[in-house]
Structure formats: C-alpha cells, structure tokens
A and B are shown apart, each in its own frame.
Chain A
Amino acid sequence: MPEITFVRSRSILRDRLVQLLVYAAVLVVSGVFIWILADLVRGGVAHLSWNFFVDSPRDAGRAGGIGPILVSTALILLVALVVALPLAWATAVLLAEFVPATSKFGTIVRYSLQVLAGVPSIVFGLFGNAFFSIYLGLGFSILSGGLTLACMLLPILVSTAEAGLRAVPENYRMSAAALGMSRTATLLHLLLPAAAPALAAGLLLGIGRAVAETAALLFTSGYVERMPGSLLDSGRALALHIFDLSMNVPGGDAPAYASALVLVVLLLAINIVAMKLAYGLQRKRIMPA
C-alpha cells in the first residue's frame, strides 16, 4: 500500500512539474512579446500624434512624421501581394490537388521552393537590384521593391497553402466527386474555403515578413522619403526608415521607437482582421446555417 501511494505521489509530482514547465515556457514567450511592446510604448508613445502619421519626415527623420513612408510601405506590400498571391496559390493547388505527392515534378518544385525560402533577404535585394532595377530598367522604384518582395514571399505562401489544402479531409473530395461536382467547383466552393484559415495564416506570415523587410528593399525601392507619385517612384519602407533612424541618424531614437510602435500595432491589427475574415469565410462557405 505505501508503495502505491509513493508511486502515485511521485507521478502527481511529475505532472505538476511538467505543468509548471509548460506554464513557465508560456510565460517566457509572452513575456518577451510584452517586454518588446512595453519598451516600444515607453520609448515611442510620447512622440506619437496625428501629425506624425500624416507629415513628411524633416531633419533626416528626427522631426516631422512618417506619412509618405506609410504610403510607400502600403504600395510596396500591395504590389508584392498582387503579384505573389495568384502565383503562389495556383502553385499550391497544383502541388496539392493535381500532382501526386510523390511525383518527381512535385518534389523538384517543392525542393526549389525550400531552397528559395532559405536564401537570405540581402541576396534577394541584390538580385532585385540587378534584375528589376537595372536589367528591366525599373530603377529604384516601388515596383522593383514590390516585385523583389514577391519573389521572397513565394515560398512561404506556397508551402502554407499547400499544407492547408493537404489538411482538408480526403472524404470532402470523395463526397464532391460523388455529387458530380467538377474539379474546379470542388476547388472553389469546398477546398479553398476549407483551407482558408491556412491560406490566411500564410498570408499573415507573408505580410509580416514583407513589412519587416529592410535588406531586400534598400537597393530596390530605395531611400527616398518623398510622397510617391507613381509606382515608378522610389519610396522608403517603414522598416528601412526605422533602421536608418536608429543606426544612421544621431538623435533619431525617439522617432525610431514611435515608427516601430506603429509597425507593430499595424501588424497586430492586420493579424486580427485577417484571422476574423478567414474564420468567417470558412463558416459561410462550408458550414451553412
């Protein structure tokens, strides 16, 4: 009898310990996020105002705002997504739905995407500068920056979308076939909506990587802080602005903190909205009331 109690109390102790460790890990992870956020708020909130969002930077960014930089960032992101999303999701559909998982072609495509995913962003920047800016003659422009980012986003978007489509249960496809639905209809009305949360998660990872990109944009979309008049103008991205303020402009710390705070809040907002949209889409399309 005492032997059993001992074993049981030991296993209870072990459970508690594991529980404690799990909670500690959670605490550390969220602690890091809260620390970063608190640091940004402490350093940047005093510098924030409506004018900070609409004004142009002055005195190398120490004064003025980030209006044109927000517009440039949004345009770069728009170009990147408009180009990358159709390509990436079409590739994912091909890999997940039309090519057997073990086929040679699929393996080659997947392998090359994995290699692409591991390429450092400065390499994309140099490629973008050489190909889009110089060879195609787009110069330092929002267009060449956006296209460079599109190349960078492809691997993330393809792999997340492919994983999402593969996670859709096989009997969905069987049932659709049994009902005589065409492959296109199955894809548009069933599989893509069912995979919507995965697509949204991939999109968010992509947006996060794109908005945080500095190295790939330095030599493609450039350093100009003027309000862009067209996609062929050079425009400074927000992350590049933060990097320049904190590393290259003496006394640029306060606006750098404020800009970083804007960037983080922006990412949080995009996250929440996209998650809500994806959940809504999934429910509306495949779980009718």
Chain B
Amino acid sequence: MHPSKQGWGFFAAVVMIAFIVLANPGSAASNKLVITGSSTVAPLVGEIARRFESRNPGVRIDVQTGGSSRGIYDVRNGVADIGMVSRALKPDETDLQAFTLAMDGISMILHASNPVEALNQQQVVDIYSGRVSNWKSVGGRNARITVVNKAEGRSTLTLFLDYFSLKNSEIKPHIVIGDNPQGIKTIAGNANAIGYVSIGAAEFEINYGVPVKLLPLDRVDASVDTVRRGIFPLSRPLNLISRPAPQGLAKEFIDFARSTQVHDLIEAQYYVPVSIH
C-alpha cells in the first residue's frame, strides 16, 4: 500500500475532472444575455427569464443582483446587456433607455400593535429629522420612537427623500437597513419602530401574519390596489434599461417582459403590471 500515491492519484483525478468540466464550452455567447441591477427587481426578472428560456430553447439569461446603481454602471461599461433599476431615470442618465416592467409603491410601516393610525407629512419629517422622538407627541403611547432608514444607494431611500423633501444628512436613524424584507423584520421585532418599504413586499408579509401595518400616505390607503389605480402618491416604476436601443435577443427579452404573458409572474411578486393602467 502506498497511500501517498493514492493521494496524488486522487488529486490528479480531481484536477482532470475539473479541466474536463472547464473544457465544456457551454452555450454560445450570442445566445446569452447578462442582466444586473436592483435587488428588488432581480427575483422577478429571474422568474421572467426562466419562462423566456423555456420558450426559447438554447437561450441563456443570467440575472445578477447588486442594486440599481450597479445596473446602471454595468450597462454603461458593457458588462451587462440589460440593467434593472427600481426608480425612474435621473436627468443625467439620458444616455440610457428605460422600459417599465411594473409599478411598486412605497409607504410607511409601523408595528401592528402601535395605536397610531396615520401620520401627516410634517409628522414624518419631524420624526425622521429627530425633532419628535416620542410617540406621545403624534398621538401614540409614551415610548421612544426607533427610526429605521434605508442604506445609501437604495432607490427606496432616494424616493422617500424626494417625496418628503428631506436630505439624508438631516435624518437621524437608529437603524439602517438594506432590502425590504429586512426592514419588515426589523419593524416586526420592535413595537416602537417606524420605517418605509415597498408596499408589495409589506402586503405579502402581512398576508402571512407578520405583525406590521401600512400607514396611508396623504389619506390614500397604501395597497397594491391603490398603486394599480394610479392614485397612490409615492410609487415608482421598476425598469429594465439598456444602451443603446436594444436589439436582437435583448429586444426580444424586453418585449417579452412587458407583454401580458408575464403578468401572472409580476402579480405573484406583489407588483403591478404596467399595461393594466
């Protein structure tokens, strides 16, 4: 017995297998699309891509995540064919073309046990800038307010700041969060917390019994329904972006993602398909 020879033999076999797998060229690059960007949009586009692949054999669509800013960066650099951005494009982003897939609303959420039923704009601004720090001042119980804010670079943060005319430097957050379900979990675990998240994500969790509630905004109920009817004041488009104008496979995919063939997928992620407007 020469265990060392066995060891080297095993090692050599592993290396050979690795190279055999490596040598397999996979699919041709022309039938492949790379899509990167917003983590809010990525699960939805992943589902759309799977359906597109099953209807077009031989096509491969790789969906990567990392945030809206990353989607824009990757499309500009040519790393991605299509980007995902969970907000409208800004004036300095006119080099890109946006194609809206779906709409999503953003609203304030509180713990379900919090007696506060509504907050007006000034109250939200006061709470987030630290001028009001106790729920008693806005008609709640005597308890300190825990302010939950979104991390820099998140589209939800940009939209929230725009809507309430706040600057991020004015906000005095106690907790900074990333993705929507993280925000919902944070509020569900703290009876005195306030945050803002995607209405779709919140409605999904509320249906599963998570103890949070959505607050109306400017007296409009926050629900997928009011976003669908176009009356909810703080809503955003979920966009696919490309530069230059999409051609070939990219165009086929964008057209498919905006067609009625994927509306069930969009609704399954609690977003609102656009052509229903």
B62, A234: Cβ atoms under 8 Å?
A: yes
A188, B179: Cβ atoms under 8 Å?
A: no
Q: Which residue of chain B lies nearest to A86 when distances are taken between CB atoms in the complex?
A: B11
- How large, as a class, is the contact surface on chain A? 35 or more
Which one, A224, A232, A281, contacts B26 given CB within 8 A?
A: A232
B181, A246: Cβ atoms under 8 Å?
A: yes
Q: Is B268 an interface residue (CB 8 A)?
A: yes
Complex CA gap A219/B71 in Å reads 12
List, in ascending order, chain B residues with CB within 8 A of A251's CB: 204-205, 208
**Chain A CB within 10 Å, residue with most, of B26, B34, B64, B268:** B64
Q: Is A79 an interface residue (CB 8 A)?
A: yes
List, in ascending order, chain B residues with CB within 8 A of A285's CB: 3
Complex CA gap A61/B21 in Å reads 26
B63, A224: Cβ atoms under 8 Å?
A: yes
Q: Is A2 an interface residue (CB 8 A)?
A: no
Q: Is A53 an interface residue (CB 8 A)?
A: no
A223, B65: Cβ atoms under 8 Å?
A: yes
List, in ascending order, chain B residues with CB within 8 A of A281's CB: 3
List, in ascending order, chain B residues with CB within 8 A of A189's CB: 4
A229, B204: Cβ atoms under 8 Å?
A: no
Selected interface stretch from B37-45, B102-110, B165-173, B249-257: B37-45
The interface bits of chain B over 1-44 (1 if a CB of A lies within 8 angstroms of the residue's CB, else 0) are 00110000000001100100111111100000010000110111
A75, B3: Cβ atoms under 8 Å?
A: no
List, in ascending order, chain B residues with CB within 8 A of A82's CB: 14-15, 18
**Chain A CB within 10 Å, residue with most, of B15, B25, B40, B46:** B46
The interface bits of chain B over 223-237 (1 if a CB of A lies within 8 angstroms of the residue's CB, else 0) are 000000000000000
List, in ascending order, chain A residues with CB within 8 A of B220's CB: none
- How large, as a class, is the contact surface on chain B? 35 or more
Which one, A75, A230, A244, A250, contacts B205 given CB within 8 A?
A: A250
List, in ascending order, chain B residues with CB within 8 A of A233's CB: 26, 62
Given A230-B26, A250-B201, A250-B204, check contact A223 B21 (CB 8 Å). Answer: no
Complex CA gap A61/B47 in Å reads 10
Q: Is B114 an interface residue (CB 8 A)?
A: no
Q: Which residue of chain B lies nearest to A284 when distances are taken between CB atoms in the complex?
A: B3
B15, A250: Cβ atoms under 8 Å?
A: no
Q: Which residue of chain B lies nearest to A61 when distances are taken between CB atoms in the complex?
A: B43
Given A230-B26, A231-B22, check contact A59 B66 (CB 8 Å). Answer: no
Complex CA gap A47/B236 in Å reads 35
Known: A78-B14, A223-B46, A223-B63. 6 other contacts (CB 8 A): A79-B18, A143-B22, A223-B65, A230-B22, A248-B40, A248-B181
